[in-house]
């Protein structure tokens, strides 16, 4: 397996930088996604998320490492690099993956499973950022997104743990719509790599505590968005 630090420096093989070539690369990499449970005994879990600074000029990726049994934070890492690509719908991973890989490489322990704030296979070409990360790193990943990028689903019950299948236009399942808490907006769960469709929502629910988001992506989101730092700043008014 290629070290994460090496992948961070060169994550996209011979991609020429164009959106058309990026979409073609997504199609190729999507064929390498493995949708079976193939992860080690879970001891260390990671959550990752990406934010932006300076009007989008700087990509800020956050990775947190938690104990799988207690969900207690063990370590965190933030990577800040110049943003190399503008936002293009459906190509988010090409904009965010270099910083995300760098943040993961800064953790003291390689995680057994990574929760990614974003989509896995629930993507128009089957390769959201969680799937892209899983394929290039070889690590097990799950996408935990806050809204649907593609697909449709039946009505969802309001109770905690309710879930319905997310289907693509051909009627094939690409993920789940999951109610993590009573009467909250649902999450969109899809495997990224080395995790099955059946197991993905169970793994997510095992990491939900008092909040809508599982602890892994909740803590990564706070760190990536600098929400705590902004809260601690004195008010100007």
**205, 183 contact by CB (below 8 A):** no
Among residues 84, 214, 203, 209, the alpha carbon closest in space to that of 146 is found at 214
**How far, in Å, CA of 42 to CA of 26, rounded?**
29
Between CA 89 and CA 136 the distance in angstroms is 21
117 is in an annotated binding site: yes
Residue 229: exposed, middle, or buried by beta-carbon count in 10 A (0-12, 13-18, 19+)? exposed
49 is in an annotated binding site: yes
Closest C-alpha to 151, from 124, 178, 128, 184: 124
Contact 115, 184 (CB under 8 A): no
In terms of DSSP bridges, do strands 73-82 and 163-167 run parallel, antiparallel, or are they unpaired?
Answer: unpaired
* Interatomic CA distance for residues 62 and 48, integer angstroms: 6
Number of other residues whose CB lies within 10 A of the CB of residue 211? 13
Binding-site entries: 49, 117
**Residue list for the binding site for Mg(2+):** 49, 117
């Amino acid at each position: 397996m290629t070290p994460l630090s090496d992948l961070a420096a060169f994550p996209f093989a011979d991609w020429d930088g164009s959106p058309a070539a990026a979409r073609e690369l997504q199609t190729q990499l999507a064929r390498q996604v493995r949708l079976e449970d193939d992860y080690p005994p879970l001891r260390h879990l990671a959550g990752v998320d990406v934010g932006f600074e300076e009007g989008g000029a700087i990509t800020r990726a956050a990775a947190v490492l938690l104990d799988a049994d207690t969900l207690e934070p063990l370590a965190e890492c933030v990577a800040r690099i110049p943003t190399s690509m503008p936002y293009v719908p459906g190509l988010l991973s090409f904009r965010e993956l270099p910083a995300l890989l760098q943040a993961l490489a800064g953790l003291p322990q390689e995680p057994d499973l990574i929760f990614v704030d974003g989509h896995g296979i629930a993507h128009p070409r089957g390769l959201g950022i969680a799937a892209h990360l899983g394929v290039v790193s070889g690590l097990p990943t799950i996408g935990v997104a806050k809204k649907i990028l593609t697909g449709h689903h039946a009505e969802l019950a309001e109770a905690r743990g309710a879930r319905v299948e997310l289907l693509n236009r051909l009627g094939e399942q690409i993920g789940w719509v999951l109610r993590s808490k009573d009467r909250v907006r649902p999450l969109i769960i899809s495997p990224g790599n080395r995790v099955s469709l059946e197991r993905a929502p169970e793994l997510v629910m095992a990491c939900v505590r008092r909040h809508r988001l599982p602890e892994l992506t909740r803590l990564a989101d706070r760190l990536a968005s600098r929400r705590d730092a902004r809260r601690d700043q004195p008010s100007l008014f």
